[in-house]
Amino acid sequence: MQVGIIGLPNVGKSTIFNDLARANAEVANYPFCTIEPNTGIIDVPDAYLEKLSKIYESKKVTPATIKILDVAGLVKGANKGEGLGNKFLSHIRNADILAHVVRCFSGEDISAGEESQTPIEDIEIINTELMLSDIEIISRRKEKLNSLVKSGDKEAKIQLELANYLLGRLNEGIVPEKKSLNRTESDFLKDLNLLSMKPVLYVANVDDSGQGQKLYNELVEKVGKENVVKIYAELECEILDLPEEERGEYKKELGIEEEGLDVFIKSCYKLLNLITFYTLNENEARAWALEKGQDIIQAANKVHSDMAKGFIKAEVINSEELIKEGSFAQARENGNLRLEGKNYIVQDNDVIQIRFSV
């Protein structure tokens, strides 16, 4: 999974990035501090993996990971070359989620540019620029498609029709809805990688001031609580610099109940409808992300295509139960290890042992 961080300049994107990826990207009080993208890998926090790894005393413990990208700030008119322009958005075209950072802190000495007024206006500037960038991408593709259509290419004709629909919506300032698409259309849409159609998580970069709370509330009112993650990025970065034993106390003082990282990942999983399954053996205990509703063959395919192709059956048990049992043998003896066939729909926190032949 990939997450791309977007937002106005100087709103704390790199601070959020450092907090989430436990990284050390440059943070400074001036716009366009970030020019080249920062890339980080986040280990998905996991309640069971460590305990599960004890079952076989696995040599390696591999959590699921998320790649996170922090890019330059966008400004009004970026599509016309304002600020750093919008070319850098190509770095996040492959992202599965956009983390849209919104300034919800006071800090009067920290300017997010002249046009920044309120969280609502700020997000509208960014969302408009994303649409304008998409319009550019589609228009460029249309030129190619036009000549293909003239030469009688039937697929290009379907693509051109979809391109015209998308352009029509975007030019009206409306994000196109995902209508039911045939194969050619959905492949084309995937290929276009439109930023405005990606799932968005609004990240409120808050401080502990009353003003910060007020701005956060405004944002929540506009986009809905379920779409906002509240992160005390700067405070959390400071906390990360403290010795481990002092962190808890400081967090309690500030009223930070759950770490930004945990809330953020949970929200990403929810937004993309992801669950976790595990594979275990002597070599490795590993957590994997899977779309909810997918079957065991799709899960097997994540691990190794041979496992999916040669699938015979799988032994399945919930993580918590397996930890309680202590071993597969014990679980089997107690009748708690289920045997599942190829149509089994994987459940959150399943541990699966796949039997296959190649």
Residue 110's binding partner, choosing from ligand GTP, Mg ion, none, with beta-carbon cut-off 5 to 8 A by kind? ligand GTP
- Judged by CB under 5 A, does residue 10 bind Mg ion? no
Between strands 200-206 and 97-104, the pairing is: parallel
For Mg ion, the binding residues in 31-50 under the rule CB under 5 A are 33-34
Identify any residues that bridge with 334 across adjacent strands, giving them in sequence order: none
Q: Which is nearer to ligand GTP, 216 or 328 (CB)?
A: 216
Q: Which is nearer to Mg ion, 33 or 61 (CB)?
A: 33
- Judged by CB under 5 A, does residue 267 bind Mg ion? no
Nearest distance in Å: CB 69, ligand GTP: 12
Q: Is 173 left (phi over 0), alpha (psi -120 to 50) or beta?
A: left
Q: Which is nearer to Mg ion, 33 or 181 (CB)?
A: 33
Residue 9's binding partner, choosing from Mg ion, ligand GTP, none, with beta-carbon cut-off 5 to 8 A by kind? ligand GTP
Q: Which is nearer to Mg ion, 14 or 319 (CB)?
A: 14
Residue 207's binding partner, choosing from ligand GTP, Mg ion, none, with beta-carbon cut-off 5 to 8 A by kind? ligand GTP
Count other C-beta atoms under 10 Å from residue 34's C-beta.
23
d(CA 187, CA 357): 33
Question: CA angle, 110 as apex, 132 and 243 as ends, to 5°?
Answer: 110
Nearest distance in Å: CB 254, ligand GTP: 12
DSSP 226: G
- Judged by CB under 5 A, does residue 205 bind Mg ion? no
AA identity, residue 333:
E
Residue 12's binding partner, choosing from ligand GTP, Mg ion, none, with beta-carbon cut-off 5 to 8 A by kind? ligand GTP
Nearest distance in Å: CB 14, Mg ion: 3
Nearest distance in Å: CB 184, ligand GTP: 39
Residue in the shown chain whose Cβ atom is closest to ligand GTP: 107
What token pair was written down for 188? 């084309």
Q: Which is nearer to ligand GTP, 176 or 212 (CB)?
A: 212
Part in contact with Mg ion (CB under 5 A); list of ranges 26-34, 256-264, 298-306, 335-343? 26-34
Question: What are the CA-CA distances from residue 255 to residues 12, 38, 101, 239 (Å)?
Answer: 21, 30, 21, 13
Count other C-beta atoms under 10 Å from residue 84's C-beta.
18
Nearest distance in Å: CB 233, ligand GTP: 5
Binding site for ligand GTP (CB under 6 A): 7, 9-15, 27-29, 31-34, 72-73, 105, 107, 110, 205, 207, 233-234
Quickly list H helices, the chain: 13-21, 49-56, 119-150, 154-171, 183-192, 210-223, 233-240, 244-254, 260-271, 296-303, 305-309, 319-325, 328-333
Residue 233's binding partner, choosing from Mg ion, ligand GTP, none, with beta-carbon cut-off 5 to 8 A by kind? ligand GTP
d(CA 19, CA 315): 38
CA end-to-end distance (rounded Å), the chain:
29
- Judged by CB under 5 A, does residue 14 bind Mg ion? yes
Note whether 70 and 37 are within 8 A (CB): yes
- Judged by CB under 5 A, does residue 15 bind Mg ion? no
What token pair was written down for 164? 């015209």
Q: Which parts of this chain interact with Mg ion (CB under 5 A)?
A: 13-14, 33-34
